[in-house]
Copies of this chain bind each other. A is one copy, B any other.
Amino acid sequence: MKTCENNYFQQKHSKEMRAVQDSMDVLNGKWKVAILSSICYYNKRRFSEILNDVEGISNRMLSKELKELEVNKLIIRSVMDTQPITVMYELTKHGKSLKNIIESLSDWGIAHRRVITGK
């Protein structure tokens, strides 16, 4: 019976689908992945450096997004006692587990441009 077949497959993949949604909820918005990329590529990165890396982002947004990433335990914020103060951001172990995805997204972005522009 067709519906049974569908239900079978449905159950088979609904868990993965929910997991994908969970991931995208954390990485939502226009900036999160780009910010993570910046920190990921440079290992440690300062606020103003990320501000430059991520094209077009405002300090307001950067501040807000960094806070969310910290809450989600993807990055660690540490204040350096300099004058004036500087703040370093780095990936947690958990954040580093996104490295493969980020690199894949980079590769895919380049491939996508080729596909859309017709090479």
Cβ-neighbour of A19 out of B98, B110, B116 (below 8 A): B110
Alpha-carbon distance between A113 and B100 when the two chains are bound, in angstroms: 18
Q: How extensive is the interface on chain A, given as a class?
A: 35 or more
B-contact bits for A1-41, CB 8 A (1 contact / 0 none): 00000100110011011111111101010100110011001
Docked-complex contact B9 and A106, CB < 8 angstroms? no
Docked-complex contact A20 and B33, CB < 8 angstroms? yes
Judge if A54 is at the interface, Cβ distance under 8 Å. yes
Docked-complex contact A6 and B54, CB < 8 angstroms? no
Copies in the complex: 2
| Interface of A (DSSP majority class) | helix
Q: A9-B42, A30-B28, A42-B13 known; A20 and B105 CB under 8 Å?
A: yes
- Which residues of A are at the interface with B, using a C-beta cutoff of 8 A? 6, 9-10, 13-14, 16-24, 26, 28, 30, 33-34, 37-38, 41-42, 49, 52-55, 72-73, 94, 97-98, 100-113, 115-116
